[in-house]
Amino acid sequence: MTLLVVGLSHRSAPVSVLERAALAPEARGKLLQDAVSAEPVTESAVLSTCNRIEVYADVDKFHAGVADLSSLLARHSGAGLEELTPYLYVHYEDRAVHHLFSVACGLDSMVVGEGQILGQIKDALAVAQEQHTAGRLLNDLFQQALRVGKRAHSETGIDKAGQSLVTFGLEQLAAGRDVEDWARGKRALVIGAGSMSSLAATTLVRAGVGELAVANRTVERAERLVQILTEPGGPGAGGGTSLSERSRGLGGGLRAHAAAMTSVPEELALADIVVSCTGATGLVLAGEMVAAARDGRDAPLALLDLAMPRDIDAAVHRIDGAHLVDIESLADASADAPMAADVDKVRGIVSDEVAAFGAAQRAAHITPTVVALRTMAADVVAGEITRLDGRLPDLDDKQRAEITQTVRRVVDKLLHAPTVRVKQLASEPGGAGYADALRELFDLDPQTVAAVSRADTRADRHDARERA
């Protein structure tokens, strides 16, 4: 296993650096393709969230891999390599596995235990599969990470230790009050219609806001989100019998509507709560826009910025009557968040799963050698049967079949114990050398072993395309 991860997160870099290093969605695919085009890299995947950017790769040279991935990360993120280097971390082999499994369980999240990271890991794998940059190692790794994360949430109380960033952010805005009591009846504006914005809108509706506006660059996506929120059985559904009735708040339902981004200033002037999370590269709410919305209003304005880079001007912190919580202030607040006792259980799960993953990968490493050995044995049997045909041409078909089966059984029995045992030994730490020993002992052709490995890789990539 030659797994390498190079990245930076809220634990290693200040928010200002994370902002500049944020990857645009279209840049991720290009980064994946450029990574696998680099000489030491054979597979790649990118995990990019609001508080981390990590490149995972299968490499055959450690130092060259670190150098190439660091340079590519800098090039595609737009931040200079000299600026990123002090904040980059590198994990290799088992440490890289341990890191991703910890991330999947929420142990490395800004809010410990939050579960949204599982969806982001799933998305990272899906993109790598779509780009055909994930082979056997990364497919196995990310799928196992998803299973480990789900196991941690189902077997422990890690959920009690943390929440989603949306919930945590709203709690910071509520400043000690119950979020439902604080939000009930207020007017809310959600800017963006992606996964984080959808979660924010759902959370606000369930908290009891009286009115909700969803603004998005593509109005159709905002309309779709409003429809989901207000449809029968949805979080904002009330007694109304149609979408139009529910959108107007008839029958006790949610008053909700979609809006274009050009309408944000007007929506902002009416809002009590604003949550913004878009993929914009520049500010969505400038300080002047927020100040204009505050002009002549006594009611306070609460703003939650979950975007990276930020959507809301940091100057809003200085505007009277406006309370802004952003990624930077969430990071400060989360440092004091209580840790659940179950965190130790999750760490134990991660350690066990890392060991199991390593054992499985080491065992898989020897499989091509075992296959090559059995192929060689089959060729020997076939050759000897051909020679027997020449020496005993009068054998009938039944006799020839019986002799062939007997020879094959003898060979299988001789190979069974050593091949089973070598797989067991190879799964242990330091077991990689058993494949080399097997090749030397039986004088196996390295090209045959390599051909088996290439066939496995092609099959893995075909499966990945089918899943995509």
Structure token pair of residue 256: 């909700």
159, 115 Cβ separation under 8 angstroms: yes
Phi, psi of 213 (to 5 degrees): -115, 135
What gap in Å lies between CA 88 and CA 74, rounded to an integer? 10
Query: Which among 6, 50, 74, 327 is annotated as catalytic?
Result: 50
Report which DSSP code applies to 248.
B
**Distance, CA of 1 to CA of 58 (rounded, Å):** 8
The per-type count for the chain, helices as H runs and strands as E runs, is 20, 10
Tell me if 97 sits within 8 A of 16, measured CB to CB.
Answer: no
Distance separating alpha carbons of residues 253 and 447, to the nearest angstrom:
69
Element (H, E) at 334: helix 327-334
Beta strands in 365-445 (DSSP E): none
In angstroms, the CA 110 to CA 147 distance is 21
Reduced to 3 states, what is the DSSP secondary structure of residue 92?
strand
DSSP 285: B
Secondary structure of residue 4 in the 3-state scheme: strand
**Rounded to whole angstroms, how far apart are CA atoms 133 and 125?**
10
Residue type, 375: T
Calculate the CA 286 to chain-centre distance: 31
Closest of 239, 182, 247 to residue 212, by C-alpha: 247
Known active-site residue 50: yes
In angstroms, what CA-CA distances link 61 with 3, 42, 100, 142? 10, 11, 21, 22
- Residues labelled as active-site residues: 50
